[in-house]
């Protein structure tokens, strides 16, 4: 078994063992959404970095729909890794996660 497969299996196990959040987003009855704190030390450093990056990107996609320069609307580009202002054409990127 390769290291990536082992990490995926450990992450699935950690997700299955974590208690569900009571204020979860709308989800199907068989889905459980967990916060970063629910996972705590159950995942290794590499999994944690990927998860924190994904949560940070999701937050940026949710919370930054307008251009910080002119306030214009934006469109997603590069599969969601950047936004382009529809008014001033500036390209915006999420802030890098810090260690």
Give least dist CB 67 to Zn ion, A: 3
Residue 86 touches Zn ion, criterion: CB under 5 A: no
Residue 11 touches Zn ion, criterion: CB under 5 A: no
Distance CA 58, CA 5 (A): 24
- Own/partner pairs for 3-9, CB < 8 Å, 24+ apart? 7/44, 7/46, 7/47
Q: Which of 70, 76, 80, 93 binds Zn ion (CB under 5 A)?
A: 70
Q: Which of 13, 27, 69, 78 binds Zn ion (CB under 5 A)?
A: 69
């Amino acid at each position: 078994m390769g290291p990536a497969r082992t990490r995926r299996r450990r992450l699935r196990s950690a997700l299955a063992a974590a208690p569900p959040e009571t204020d979860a987003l709308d989800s199907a009855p068989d889905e459980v959404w967990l916060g970063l704190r629910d996972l705590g030390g159950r995942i290794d450093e590499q999994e944690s970095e990927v998860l924190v990056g994904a949560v940070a990107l999701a937050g940026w996609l949710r919370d930054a729909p307008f251009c910080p320069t002119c306030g214009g609307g934006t469109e997603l580009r590069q599969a969601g890794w950047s936004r382009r202002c529809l008014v001033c054409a500036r390209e915006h990127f999420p802030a890098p996660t810090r260690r």
